[in-house]
A and B are shown apart, each in its own frame.
Chain A
Amino acid sequence: MKAISAKDNISLRTKKDRIFLGLVVLFSVITASPIVLIIFKLIEKGYKQLSFSFLFENTPDTMEAMTAIASNKLIPGGIANGILGTLLMVGMAAIIAIPVGIITGVYLYENQRKWMANITRNVSDILQGVPSIVLGLISYLWVVKHVTHGYSALAGSASLAIMMLPMIVRSTEETLKMIPQTLKEAGLALGIPYWRVLFGILIPTGFSGLMTGILLAVSRVIGETAPLMLTALGSSVINTNIAKPTSAIPLVIWEFYNDPNMVDLIWSSSLLLMIMVLSINLISKQVAANRK
């Protein structure tokens, strides 16, 4: 039997070790590259179109766009209808989802062991995993068909609200769990009414955690396209009537994408969308850091 000298074995093992480390680093770098590529692409192609008028004017129609391209000028107009539609629908969704989500989170926190609370928690988790397009379907069946009898901002915000709800519920419960029990007990011991302890002491204490959860939920729904396609449909003008079709930034991007004349606008609109998402994320990180 041939003896394997220990020295040979070590060098092979060390080589394997180094190669593996190399692969890990290589693949990690590859993983990080799409984010860099995508953001650079957006900036490169989108910055030219960004301006104040871009934020405040409505979407151009395809004729205007065609003439502008033919004369080599920047396409006129902007995405004001999209921006305001997004603000309207996300705002409404937040108004619905935040109170319901926080109160449900408080309920779950206060009833850790009850089977009803466990079911609610599981249902909330399941709801979080539902694809956004299915939520759009639901909102279509509920709101578009039976409430507003047509595509509407209300339907759009309903689908966004259902998306935000589980996220807020979970982050509220987790935030409250991190508050020391003694605070709540002290409040109760002083004779402060139960509701006051919950909403006057616990919630303000956990405010930054709650805020983080809310901001993250908002940043998640701002970019959603699929559910809005089935509920809000889109519009070429600014719309404030919640029972009528409304535009939104992702919908505007989708319209531009489908129109050969307006394709160039997708980059600036996407860049704006990314800026909004990143800003909200940065703010929420700042809020979380201030908590320390």
Chain B
Amino acid sequence: MNSDKITKIVLFSVSFIILIVAGGMVFSLVGGAIPAFKTFGLGFITSTHWDPTHGQEEYGALPFIAGTLITSFLALLISFPLSFATSLFLGEYYRNTRVAKILGTMVDLLAGIPSIVYGLWGFYVLRPFLISIGFENQGFGVLTSSLVLAIMIIPYATSLSSEIISMVPNDLKEAAYSLGSTRYEVILHVTVPAARSGIFAGYILAFGRALGETMAVTMLIGNRNIIPNSLFSTGNTMASVIANQFGEASGLKLSALISIGLLLFVITGIVNWIGKLIIKKMS
């Protein structure tokens, strides 16, 4: 066998590793989740009971699914005006200026801050501030977590959106200007519609990021196994309940946590896949 053939075989085989890892992940998650689903059936996803006491164990994932979706949606909502404005700043108004470079670097830095540092800042700086303006529950809860989550996902939404916005063809914009439009009108009627799918994809990916965020949410959401019933209520997300309750988990409880991990894996997988699909459609 000549060396070319060997090289090709080596390349192929090593790349297989990543497929094995991914496949193995699905296999292990499903395998670990089976005990829980066998005991509780599909009701696991809709039940709100979470009782780890020995002898009457019952687990249900609904509070955490709700917590994850609510905090992530809220984070997306809160981050939208901020990241949209920033992407316009970087991609349209001040494109290619020094200010934009500085702001761009600062936004990139936001992405580099570890989650636990966000959690600490949220706990020791944001919370007292929120308490001072009237938050209950010691400042823990859905809104606090969503605020910090929003800050964390801004870079992801901004970077993709600002790229796409800066790539809108100049002649489209110039045509609008020549008809007498103001800059605002050009953005509203030309730039944004042209960049629509890219902007949307950016937010989908940011949403996907928010879904899986663990540490910052764990430290700020208050660790209660209920479906949040208000903005200020405490709760738990899928990621935070795994982090909080993994400790000595074994048997049925471990299986319940793994099932939640599986759900999280599937939900983030679908969201990210949709985002990639939109991006592919654009190029």
A→B interface (CB under 8 Å): 13-14, 16-17, 20-21, 23-28, 30-32, 34-38, 41-42, 99-100, 103-104, 106-108, 110-111, 116-117, 119-120, 122-127, 129-134, 137-138, 141-142, 162, 165-166, 169, 193-195, 198, 219, 222-226, 229-230, 250, 253-254, 257, 266-267, 270, 273-274, 277-278, 281
Q: Does B134 contact A (CB under 8 A)?
A: no
Whether B272 pairs with A281 at a CB distance below 8 angstroms is no
Bound Cα distance from A126 to B264, whole angstroms: 13
Chain B, 1-36, CB within 8 A of any chain A CB: 3-4, 6-8, 10-12, 14-15, 17-19, 21-22, 24-25, 28-29, 32
B91 CB, min distance to chain A CBs, angstroms: 11
Whether B14 pairs with A107 at a CB distance below 8 angstroms is yes
13 A-B pairs with C-beta separation under 8 A: A17-B183, A25-B93, A28-B82, A31-B158, A32-B107, A36-B106, A37-B121, A100-B17, A133-B239, A193-B4, A222-B114, A273-B117, A278-B109
Bound Cα distance from A103 to B116, whole angstroms: 33
B47 CB, min distance to chain A CBs, angstroms: 21
B84 CB, min distance to chain A CBs, angstroms: 8
Whether B21 pairs with A162 at a CB distance below 8 angstroms is yes
Bound Cα distance from A48 to B3, whole angstroms: 59
**Residue numbers in A under 8 Å from B121 (CB-CB):** 34, 37-38, 41
Whether A31 pairs with B215 at a CB distance below 8 angstroms is no
**Residue numbers in B under 8 Å from A28 (CB-CB):** 82, 85-86, 89, 103
Whether B3 pairs with A194 at a CB distance below 8 angstroms is yes
Q: Mark B233-245, 1 if CB is under 8 A from A, else 0.
A: 0000001001100
Residue of B nearest to A29 (CB): B103
Whether B265 pairs with A130 at a CB distance below 8 angstroms is yes
Whether A127 pairs with B18 at a CB distance below 8 angstroms is yes
Which among B88, B113, B242 is the interface contact of A24 at CB below 8 angstroms?
Answer: B88
Bound Cα distance from A110 to B9, whole angstroms: 12
Q: Does B182 contact A (CB under 8 A)?
A: yes
Which among B120, B183, B243, B269 is the interface contact of A229 at CB below 8 angstroms?
Answer: B243
Q: Does B112 contact A (CB under 8 A)?
A: yes
Q: Count how many chain B residues have C-beta atoms less than 8 Å from C-beta atoms of the other chain.
A: 77
Q: Mark B52-65, 1 if CB is under 8 A from A, else 0.
A: 00000000000000
Residue of A nearest to B181 (CB): A13
Which among B103, B183, B246 is the interface contact of A32 at CB below 8 angstroms?
Answer: B103
Whether B82 pairs with A30 at a CB distance below 8 angstroms is yes
Whether A126 pairs with B103 at a CB distance below 8 angstroms is no
B21 CB, min distance to chain A CBs, angstroms: 6
**Residue numbers in B under 8 Å from A41 (CB-CB):** 121, 124-125
Whether B89 pairs with A129 at a CB distance below 8 angstroms is no
Which among B14, B17, B272 is the interface contact of A125 at CB below 8 angstroms?
Answer: B272
Chain B, 254-270, CB within 8 A of any chain A CB: 257-258, 261, 264-265, 268-269
